[in-house]
Amino acid sequence: MSEKKNIVRAAGVLGFATILSRIMGMVRDMVQSRLFGAGFATDAFIAAFQIPNMLRRFFAEGALTSAFVPTFSEWYSQKGEVEARHLANICFTLLIMVMAAVTLLGVVFSPLLVNLMFPGFKAEPSKLELTILLNRLMFPYIFLVSLVALCMGILNTVRHFFTPAISTVFLNISMILCAVFLHSRFQVPIVSLAVGVLLGGILQLLLQIPVLYRMGFPLRLRFDFHHPAVRRIALLMGPSIFGVGVYYLNITVGAILASYLPRGVYPFFTTLSDSSSFPRGYLPFRWPRRCFPP
């Protein structure tokens, strides 16, 4: 197959997966708005998910991807598959260690993070408490999605695009199913969405691993951290972290201001201030009357 056909095929796969992901995201928002509406619990969930979601773009889709993919691609084309496999395993091991530490710190210091980002929630102690609980439940998502980003980078380098592209759909599907079937099983129904986030991250990772194995990149632990490519990736991540950090400083300021808004308004504010962040699509859907406070 010619290079031109490969590009067209890859673009078609990515386009189809993106459209499907947007459709499922719209369904997810419709389900969420119908089951939980705008109010106390939804504010807490949106705020709690914003922290790991920001870190996802900070580590996984931002600095990590921009530094790892070009280095791994160069190593794969110049050094061969065996050396590229070694580099992938080293990065996989190092990422597990770093993100496990980040996740543990995030869970332990979740009250501090929530108080810093959403100081307005202190006016409602129960809302603050629920936000901390949900944030702790969803913080491991950053660990899972960082590994997913690494797997996606490897698969894209070896020109396998379908699995990385379609895996994003599984987060939405997981959240939809958990919201529909598990919301009545929790004392606080919104917890079902947090469970859906975690299961979605697990599904995304499990989807990548067999394909990596089939493509000749079985992931193994390898502790050769003095590899020259690892040093290069670390150096490349520096400017990316700074650039992403400046952007999310603006989002953090918006989150602080939004936390002082009345109950039920927070989702609208965050959607307008960062159109690319979760959630999307609140405005077009009909809210059930019972969800609005009197």
Q: Where are the domains of the chain?
A: 3-285
Q: Which pLDDT score, from 0 to 100, does residue 253 have? A: 76
- Mean pLDDT, rounded, for 12-20: 84
Q: Which pLDDT score, from 0 to 100, does residue 172 have? A: 92
Q: Rounded distance, CA 291 to CA 294, Å? A: 9
Judge if pTM exceeds 0.85. no
Higher pLDDT, 154 or 273: 154
Most confident of 49-63, 166-180, 236-250: 166-180
Q: Does the pLDDT of residue 101 top 80, yes or no? A: yes
Q: Does the pLDDT of residue 128 top 80, yes or no? A: yes
Q: Rounded distance, CA 275 to CA 227, Å? A: 39
Q: Which pLDDT score, from 0 to 100, does residue 161 have? A: 84
Given pLDDT bands bounded at 50, 70 and 90, which one contains residue 17? confident
Burial class (CB in 10 A: 0-12, 13-18, 19+), 165: buried
Q: Which pLDDT score, from 0 to 100, does residue 230 have? A: 87
- Three-point CA angle 21, 212, 170, nearest 5°: 20
